[in-house]
């Protein structure tokens, strides 16, 4: 498990392209038959990916957690962006298709992942946060995620938002999690740009064609920076940083948050015309 420490706005604005990528870009999350994890000290979230192809993969514990098992003091959100899969939690199986979500609460001891078809394996994105209360494990399909249509083709941001783990959805201690899919011809996400200093966020991009990229904008509104990102890569967004992007084709992305509150609309807008 890789460890990432926090960076302030003052030091971040001095970073080179490579330093920005080393600190805020998470690559190689999706690898066959392994669990890849990154521990971020922003709200102590753990970002992960697992692609079970040839075998069932167990969620490992790590000595850095000082826990008897991974979810002893944590909760976990799982969203599938690949083929049909199964999450097994303490012996109970949850069938998880593309864009479905499984929430696993504190004190879930044993977690395993498997694909239903080797030739079309599941690609499971993981986001975990510390938890102080035990909420029940739950599956939510994309059809039940209250999809909301936003944006307009004239501004290249026509998109559908699916909300899974939030105040009016799956209950959690502090995780908020969902995804957004842009329609063909739309490339801008999370408009208007914003910050929310009460919680951090992670963006995980999927369905980005191999020959295309997403330009993920970050930094303070008057000192913007960016990361050029490929498919199945994640961006760690500090509480003081904006987080929005534009791709060279349409795509999807999973957004996940942790911090002081779970109010989805809690944000401080940064109007496009004021950005620098």
More confident residue, 99 or 265: 99
**Phi-psi group of 28: left, alpha or beta (phi > 0 → left; psi -120 to 50 → alpha; rest → beta):** left
Residue 74, pLDDT above cutoff 90: yes
Number of domains comprising the chain: 1
The pLDDT assigned to 17 comes to 97
User: To which H or E segment does residue 127 belong?
Assistant: strand 124-130
pLDDT, mean of residues 233-249 = 97
Residue 93 in any domain: the answer is yes
User: Average pLDDT for residues 87-92, to the nearest whole number?
Assistant: 98
Range of weakest confidence among 159-163, 231-235, 240-244, 260-264: 260-264
Domain around 124:
8-274
CATH number of the domain bearing residue 26? 2.60.120.10
* pLDDT at position 191: 85
Q: What is the pLDDT of residues 220-234, one digit of tens each?
A: 999 999 999 999 999
Confidence band of 30 (pLDDT split at 50, 70, 90): very high
pLDDT tens digits for range 159-171: 999 999 999 999 9
Q: Pairing relation of β-strands 234-237 and 159-165?
A: unpaired
In a domain, 1, yes or no: no
Strand partners, 2: 38
Q: Does some domain include residue 3? A: no
Q: Which two three-digit tokens encode residue 126?
A: 């993981």
For residue range 119-161, list pLDDT tens digits in order.
999 999 999 999 999 999 999 999 999 899 999 999 999 999 9
Q: Is residue 97 part of a domain?
A: yes
User: What's the CA gap between 151 and 157, in Å, rounded?
Assistant: 5
| Radius of gyration from C-alpha coordinates of the chain | 18
Does residue 82 lie in a domain region? yes
Q: Which residue has the tokens 């826990």?
A: 67
Dihedral in degrees, nearest 10, Cα atoms 162, 167, 168, 172: 80
Strand order in the sheet with 138-140: 2-4, 35-40, 46-50, 124-130, 74-80, 101-104, 138-140
**Residue 42: its pLDDT value, please?**
96
Q: Is residue 2 part of a domain?
A: no
Give the phi and the psi of residue 274 in degrees, each rounded to 5: -95, -5
Are 230 and 208 in contact, with CB atoms under 8 Å apart? yes
Band (pLDDT 50/70/90 cuts) for residue 264 is confident
User: Quick check: is 169 in a domain?
Assistant: yes
**Mean per-residue pLDDT, 247-256:** 98
């Amino acid at each position: 498990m890789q460890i990432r420490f926090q960076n302030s706005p003052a030091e971040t604005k001095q970073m080179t392209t490579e330093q920005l990528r080393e600190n805020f870009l998470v690559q190689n999350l999706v690898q066959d038959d392994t669990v890849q994890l990154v521990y971020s000290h922003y709200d102590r979230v753990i970002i992960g990916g697992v692609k079970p192809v040839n075998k069932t993969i167990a969620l490992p514990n790590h000595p850095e957690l000082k826990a008897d098992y991974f979810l002893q003091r944590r909760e976990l959100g799982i969203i599938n962006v690949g083929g049909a899969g199964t999450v097994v939690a303490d012996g109970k199986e949850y069938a998880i298709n593309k864009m479905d979500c499984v929430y696993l609460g504190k004190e879930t001891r044993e977690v395993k992942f498997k694909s239903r078809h080797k030739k079309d394996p599941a690609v499971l994105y993981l986001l975990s946060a510390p938890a102080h209360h035990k909420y029940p494990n739950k599956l939510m399909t994309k059809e039940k995620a209250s999809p909301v249509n936003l944006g307009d083709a004239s501004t290249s941001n026509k998109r559908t938002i699916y909300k899974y783990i939030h105040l009016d959805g799956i209950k959690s201690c502090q995780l908020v999690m969902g995804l957004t899919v842009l329609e063909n011809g739309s490339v801008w996400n999370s408009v208007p740009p914003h910050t929310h200093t009460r919680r951090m966020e992670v963006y995980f991009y999927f369905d980005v064609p191999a020959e295309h990229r997403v330009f993920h904008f970050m930094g303070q509104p008057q000192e913007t920076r960016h990361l050029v990102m490929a498919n199945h890569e994640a961006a760690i967004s500090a509480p003081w940083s904006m987080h929005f992007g534009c791709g060279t084709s349409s795509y999807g992305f999973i957004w996940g948050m942790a911090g002081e509150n779970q109010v989805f609309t809690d944000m401080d807008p940064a109007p496009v015309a004021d950005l620098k």
